[in-house]
Amino acid sequence: MTAKATLIGVLASLVLLARIGLGLYFLPRIMALSWYRGWLAENPARLDASVLTGKTIVIDAGHKGCHAGALGPRLGLKEADVNWEVAETLRSMLRRANPDVNVVATVGDSITRSEDDPDGDLNLRSQLARRAGPDLVVSVHHDAATKREPWSLWVNLTTVFYHENGSDLSRRSRLAAQCVRRRLGRYLLLPGFLIPRNDLGLLRDSHAPAIVTEASFITNPLQERLLAQPDRLRIEAYAIYHGILEYFAYQNHPAERKTR
């Protein structure tokens, strides 16, 4: 055996040992973390939900009742169905945590617009959201890579949109977006970004703080598999729920924000 072959053999063994070592180190931690997140999602009332008393919150399931939204690449998972599942779970979590919160859905029988009229659908959602006179509007979506490059399929991160125009309302929307983005990033273990968007009617026309969540990319094949699992959707709903509680806590006690 040549010296070169011996060196390659030693290096390959070192890489293998390092991978086993890293696996032994990280695997139990990742398992413990997913068990913990699952347990949290099963117990929404363990957080102080008294901040929700008397609040009206609109939860909009993006695209549901109108069209499919983005599609998953392997299983053909429809964004509208995933959005609906998360929104429904979030609504029941809020109601279960505090019976004195008014949770309003913008979809259900109320939106039955056709595939070829997406603007009509969005206008109707905005109107329904405004009519409820809410304290907060949350529209649940999942992102999709639009570029054709092969690597773009593997993009996966969290983004939360809000409307930015320098007003007090947009400052509060930004705060809500920050709270929810932080929780989504932590619970789903994804990098997260806040993005001001002034082209979304639901955010622009809202009379209350409003956000759109894009918790992850449904076009990412691994993420699509996760999104097909009810547990994963519960954790996402719980992350948004936790962010909403934090937002109202900050609203009620702005001073606390600096100390955390």
* CA 187/CA 260 separation, integer angstroms: 18
Complex with Zn ion: residue 61 or 97, whichever CB lies closer:
61
| Closest approach of Zn ion to the CB of residue 63, in Å | 6
* CA 193/CA 155 separation, integer angstroms: 14
SS3 (DSSP) at 141: strand
Question: Helical H runs in 189-229?
Answer: 201-204, 221-227
Name the site residues for Zn ion (rule: CB under 5 A). Answer: 62, 69, 141
| Closest approach of Zn ion to the CB of residue 214, in Å | 7
| Closest approach of Zn ion to the CB of residue 174, in Å | 21
Complex with Zn ion: residue 194 or 200, whichever CB lies closer:
200
30 Cβ partners below 8 Å, 6+ apart?
A: none
Complex with Zn ion: residue 210 or 249, whichever CB lies closer:
210
| Closest approach of Zn ion to the CB of residue 230, in Å | 20
Complex with Zn ion: residue 84 or 187, whichever CB lies closer:
84
* CA 251/CA 248 separation, integer angstroms: 5
Q: Work out whether strand 158-162 and strand 210-217 pair parallel, antiparallel, or are unpaired.
A: antiparallel
Complex with Zn ion: residue 70 or 179, whichever CB lies closer:
70
| Closest approach of Zn ion to the CB of residue 231, in Å | 22
Strand order of the sheet with strand 102-105?
102-105, 56-61, 136-143, 210-217, 158-162, 192-196
| Closest approach of Zn ion to the CB of residue 216, in Å | 12
- The candidate with the shortest Cα–Cα distance to 122, out of 28, 42, 199, is 199
* CA 113/CA 182 separation, integer angstroms: 34
